[in-house]
A and B are shown apart, each in its own frame.
Chain A
Amino acid sequence: MRVSSPKTMFEKVWDRHVVVPETADTPAVLFIDLHLTHEVTSPQAFQLLRERGMKLRRPDLTLATMDHSTPTRTEQVFGGQPISIESAARQVHQLEKNCAEFGVELLGLRHELRGIVHIIGPELGLTQPGRTIVCGDSHTSTHGAFGALAFGIGSTEVGHVLATQCLLQRRPKTLAIEVANALHPGVTAKDLILGIIGQIGVAGGTGHVIEYRGAAIRAMDMEARMTVCNMSIEAGARAGLIAPDETTFAYLKGKARAPRGAAWDEAVARWRELPSDSGARFDRTVNVDAAALEPMITYGTNPGMVVPITAPIPSRSGDAAFDKSLAYMGFTAGEPIRNQPVNVVFLGSCTNGRISDLRAAADVLRGHKVAKGVHLLVVPGSQQVRREAEKEGLDRVFIEAGADWRESGCSMCLGMNGDTVPKGEYCVSTSNRNFEGRQGVGARTLLASPLTAAATAIRGRVTDPRDLING
């Protein structure tokens, strides 16, 4: 028998899902194990099925929820008030209609399991090692934290998956990011991924699937790993993977839709085979030293424009795009980013809206008040996260500090639901994108960790969380 050559985890997952192999003329037909869908990128896909008289091929592998354009004010979710944006309300109702017509399970607006699509997949135990997972959302890369091959697709491809449970795909390249050593206290998974994006650039992962490896990754809990994989797309990579291990299995065990009994044991045995074989070859490797990192914060208009919080805003002479970006932000090259006054702090999103993120922020905020004139918006990533936070009394910590405590959703990450940052104002945000206008027309976004966000809310100025944690 021929001994097979060592394989990367990506190759193992890919190979197991090839329905028709790729050729020079045609891409591979790849089977999709889980299709998550939401109100914004699905209406045109359901319409495609309708126009062609097709049915949904695998309702059992499809789950819908609503998160992007949904309100976060309790009275608009559960009370008598209508959703304030009329077109958003129509989109929500369209998803209800589409799911009823095509037989898709929907965790709708008032469902107790509703939340941001990338928060609820793991929470329900649907995100499992070795699966192929897609969603019409670029942050689908989040699910890679479990060793699933998960990537974002456009609405046309959403239609392809609805109709065939498959996608046409060319095999991407592989990029190993080896993260040596340990993160220092006050430095989080968010700081690590911002540091990585700063190092390889916003197009550094284009055409690649990233595998995050090394001691710092192994030491992380699942929620931190999700934060890392979530922002793979911010480095241009459609997917980011982390090998499953005991941490992964412990997280999944007992989750509502994870395997049980004998099926659990079989699944774990299968999952143990997934990590990249020793000697497996990656197309590229990048080395990162976790111990060299400080809390990171962005100063520009893409996530690669990032510095350690103690560093000055850099300059790049002769780079017009860089200067345009600083002008948009109202910053001057050479000035410190620390102590820049802010107006808004947003804690939430698929990047940092999980319970551990809320706990970390609450630990910093406990016994403090939000600075006068600063709006701290706390939006849990799901209704389950919200209930857990309330059970632990975190909501009280936020409310007593003067924060605005809301129902779950994408909210101010992209402002589709009307939760926006006013023009010209500065927002330290735990979300994933600091593009021009991302959080509202003219809004100025500084991406940072939940610790940095909480410390900044207290001082009203960009604050190194280590100043508050240590003193």
Chain B
Amino acid sequence: MTAIKTLRSRTVVLPSTNIDTDQIMPARFLTTTTREGLGAHLFADWRYDAAGAPNPDFVLNRPEAKGCQVLVAGRNIGCGSSREHAPWGLVDYGFRAVISTEIADIFRNNSLKNGLLPVIVDGQTHEWLLANPGAEVTIDLESCTLTLPTGTAVKFPIDAFARYCLMNGVDELGYLLSKDAEIRAYEQRRA
């Protein structure tokens, strides 16, 4: 996992509320046995027409979306299925952060484990971001702030441990494995 400390990028805006993980990564692409290459199928049913040609109206197909690493989404993105293929697809495509007012629990967890930063903002900041697609924002994980091009900076909440892992590019498994003695003691107590 690549470490994130600060991120500066223009935004792509998908204003729909309740964008579920079936939209982010439709089920027919879940027969893969690897994590790689899922960016090609990201938002497949919105991004391509029935013949597989890019839908020119979809935001990711517009030239200004190229290179954007921050996705601003409507309230409650990531609801539904636990498929980690959704954050895998977003990361493979090039996204490093998702901003919304609410982010569904399992999707948020899965994102944190893949270097995709879930940023929860207040309604007013969200409104501004929705109204200003392509705005260049700065996300600083050291200070947990999102800074808009207007200079407005807002704090966002993030679990301390997940933040540590993201900033250092380490995964949680190392920490779990370091608790082997405690796990063994628990197993013996319960046996």
**A binding-site residues for B, Cβ under 8 Å:** 19-20, 24-27, 29, 31, 40-41, 43-44, 47-48, 52, 68-69, 85, 87-88, 90-91, 94, 136-138, 152-157, 159-160, 163-166, 168, 170, 202-203, 206-207, 233-234, 236, 238, 302, 304, 320-321, 324, 414-416, 423, 433, 435-438, 441
Contacts and interface: CB of A to CB of B under 8 A. Distances in A.
Contact of B34 (A26, A27, A47, A159): A47
B83 interface: yes
Nearest to A235: B79
Interface stretch (B18-26, B58-66, B89-97, B144-152): B18-26
Nearest to A69: B31
Interface of B: 15-18, 20, 22-23, 26-28, 30-35, 45, 50, 74-76, 79-84, 87, 102, 104-106, 109-110, 113-114, 159-161, 164, 171-173, 175-177, 179-180, 182-183, 186-187, 190
A350 B143 CA distance: 44
B47 to A, nearest CB: 12
23 contacts: A19-B182, A19-B183, A27-B161, A29-B183, A44-B33, A69-B30, A87-B32, A91-B31, A137-B81, A138-B82, A154-B110, A156-B84, A157-B113, A160-B176, A166-B179, A166-B183, A302-B79, A324-B16, A416-B31, A433-B20, A433-B81, A437-B23, A437-B26
A91 B186 CA distance: 35
A160 B112 CA distance: 14
Given A19-B179, A27-B159, A302-B18, A153 B31 contact: no
Interface core residue of A24, A152, A203 (most chain B CB under 10 Å): A203
B183 A165 contact: yes
Q: Which 8 A-B residue pairs are closest in the complex by CB-CB distance?
A: A87-B31, A154-B84, A154-B110, A43-B33, A152-B82, A138-B82, A156-B113, A203-B76
A155 B32 CA distance: 13
Contacts of B74: 321
Contacts of A436: 22-23, 45
B50 to A, nearest CB: 7
B172 to A, nearest CB: 5
Given A27-B159, A153-B82, A321-B74, A40 B31 contact: yes
A160 B45 CA distance: 32
B22 A416 contact: no
Contact of B105 (A29, A236, A320, A423): A236
A437 B102 contact: no
Contacts of B187: 31, 165
Contact of B183 (A31, A88, A203): A31
Given A90-B33, A233-B80, A433-B20, 17 more contacts: A19-B182, A19-B183, A29-B182, A29-B183, A44-B35, A138-B81, A154-B87, A156-B110, A202-B76, A203-B79, A203-B104, A206-B76, A236-B105, A302-B79, A320-B15, A321-B18, A416-B28
